[in-house]
Structure 1
């Protein structure tokens, strides 16, 4: 049985604009984290060179949104929680991450309603990573 165009469901990845827009969000996020003192605690958790983190977060978000699953193929058995298990994520750094990601999504071409749903879900993930009180 052939699949018609009406049977194909658009993924959130498609709805945000694909890998180009995801990369735009990631670059906005890391640029904010790098230059805005409001994110100093979050920035201190990262290596001086953010190139690898930019690639990794873009790959993760692509897959999380229903796009190419390369990140999961390249990191077998790793989930976002286990990837951050050794990092001291406290309430302050989680809140900084949520705020910077929210600003990055808001400054992208992503539909505001979809962006709000993304932030809601990503906020839950970031909050779930808090391991120690601030």
Structure 2
């Protein structure tokens, strides 16, 4: 393994096991917190497909295996979210749940800060409604 590979956020976070934990905790919060009810409402009753897709996306996005691209092609995130009403409130709820989940994964503070900023920017890009 090269030095560059060793420094990916994916590996610094703990690889597949920790990305799976992050996704599980994110969806736990989204599914149970009243602060995320509008976000939860735009998801299917069964979250298993959403969990799988988020895991596969985050794997590649954080520098691990490009599982999402291998199965679905380019993420085209904004386009894939057009069928859903993503307003500022839904964006903020998504970020709220993801931030809570990120604090459950052991990682260097600087890495968490950088991932949070990137997540915030990505979530803002998904807004497609007033």
Superposition TM-score, scaled by structure 1 size = 0.90
Q: Quickly say closer, same or farther: Cα 1:84–1:5, change in 2 above 3 A.
A: closer
Which residues of structure 1 form unaligned runs of 5+? none
Shift of 1:8: 5.3
Match of 1:118 among 93, 115, 120: 115
The Cα shift of 1:77 comes to 3.5
1:132 counterpart = 2:90: no
Give 1:54's aligned residue. Answer: 51
Runs of 4+ deviating beyond 3 Å: 4-9
Show the counterpart of 2:84.
Answer: 87
The verdict on how the C-alpha distance between 1:31 and 1:88 changes in structure 2, with shifts beyond 3 A counting, is same
Q: Which residue of 1 aligns with 2:30?
A: 33
1:73 counterpart = 2:70: yes
Q: Is the 8 A contact 1:13 1:62 kept in 2?
A: yes
| Secondary structure of 1:49 counterpart | coil
Change (3 A) 1:8 1:77: closer
From the CA coordinates, give the structure whose radius of gyration is larger: 1
Q: Deviations over 1:44-95 (max 9, x none)?
A: 0100000111111011000001101121111124322222122110000000
| Whole-Å separation in 2 of the counterparts to 1:124 and 1:37 | 24
* Gap change, CA 1:107 and 1:73, over 3 Å in 2: same
Query: Alpha carbons of 1:42 and 1:14: their partners in 2 closer, same or farther (altered >3 Å)?
Result: same
Greater helix content:
2
User: Unaligned regions of 5+ residues in structure 2, if any?
Assistant: none
Helix, strand or coil for the counterpart of 2:44?
coil
Query: Please, what is the CA RMSD of the aligned residues?
Result: 1.6
